[in-house]
Structure 1
Amino acid sequence: MSVPKKLPRTKFAQLLQTQVRNEFTAAQQYVAVAVWFDNRDLPRLAAHFYRQALEERNHAMMMIQYLMDQNMPVAVPGVDEVRNDFDNAEELIALALQQERDVADEIDTLMAAARADHDYSGETFVQWFVSEQVEEIAQMSTLLNVVRRSNGNLFDVENFLARERVGDQSVSPTAPRAAGGIL
């Protein structure tokens, strides 16, 4: 017999469920970006964004695991439409940077809601994502700067990614558990 799930009564729990959708949508957007690069025979840029897509998927699964651990109902959402048409690489990286800034704002809203709800376990859970967003914004800012300096020569960007460890770090040992495990 399964245990009945509590309804997400707190603002934090409701926002976290919404964030699951946001993370899955971000993952799909990164797949679209990766495919754009892959179609142009830019394997390092494509691989970078395929990894980013997996990371966003893993973030959604971490949130799902947290909701399950808190005995909250979980609805696996669909995703919003993603953009597939781009004119150049700078446009894609600028979109990725804006996406990370938007996610940082969403995470800040989650943190504020956890505090307002006096949900200390929720606040502790979200803290990891706050730090993660600092990394993500820095990474995309660096990549955008490199793309701009390349003056359209994406092979220079490919060489940069081959030489530097931008977003190539392993999963943090302090990362929350993900439902089904980290991919």
Structure 2
Amino acid sequence: MTEFTKFHQLLHDQIANEFYASQQYIAVATYFDNHDMPQLAQLFYRQAVEERNHAMMIVQYFLDRDMDVEIPGVPAPNNTFEDYQAPIKLALQQEKTVTQQIVDLAKSARDTGDYLGEQFMQWFLKEQVEEVATMTTLLTIAERCKGNLFDLENFVEREFNGPATPDPTAPPVAGGVV
């Protein structure tokens, strides 16, 4: 068994953070589905699966390192939003928070001399740049559309809801990619 370090504890905590992000994105997607915005709903349902897969990448990392892993519970997500921009603002803030968590994880791995852990975190750092950029763009377009949800839906369909292309550099997902 590999020794459990501070980095490993933070990484274990990140499993809960990723599952929480997944649940929050399901709540956001459901909000958009309930308000007849299918393109935004599709984007956030897909984001929810992506966050779930991130959690399972971490699970697989622990399994590959011959370390015990426990699946944590998560708090209930926010299900109430004042308008169509509020869930997007929440998503952007969530991605910024996750980015800081990932940076802290990478720093912890480096500080403890865990080169395997540091290498594992590199993909997540790259991923967070993309996630924050996507949510920043989405919020900018939502603000520019000034309530014209037809334009916002068309933008999301055109720019974000194309066919997904698998990332061959992504870490393996326990149980396989969903």
TM range (shorter): over 0.9
Which of 152, 173, 176 does residue 178 from structure 1 map onto? 173
Distance 2:172 2:76 in 1: 28
After superposition, residues 113-152 of structure 1 pair within 5 angstroms as: 113-152=108-147
Aligned-partner Cα distance in 1 for 2:114–2:176: 25
Matched ranges for 1:11-30 at <5 A = 11-30=6-25
The 5 Å alignment of 1:22-171 reads 22-165=17-160, 169-171=164-166
In structure 2, relative to structure 1, the CA distance for the partners of 1:65 and 1:47 (3 Å cut) is same
1:112-163 deviation digits (Å, cap 9, x = unpaired): 1100110001000000000000000000000000100111121111111122
C-alpha distance in 1, partners of 2:168/2:53? 14
TM-score under structure 2 length normalisation? 0.96
Q: Give the count of matched residue pairs.
A: 178
Q: Percent identity of the aligned residues? A: 54
Backbone CA RMSD of aligned residues: 1.3
CA pair 168-19 structure 1, distance change in 2 beyond 3 A: farther
Shift of 1:171: 2.4
Q: What is the CA–CA distance in structure 1 between the aligned matches of 2:105 and 2:60, rounded to whole Å?
A: 16
Runs (5+) with no aligned partner, structure 2: none
Structure 1: how far apart are the matches of 2:87 and 2:167?
27
- Against the structure 1 CA distance between its residues 101 and 33, is the aligned structure 2 distance closer, same or farther, given a 3 Å change threshold? same
Three-state SS of the structure 2 residue aligned to 1:86 is coil
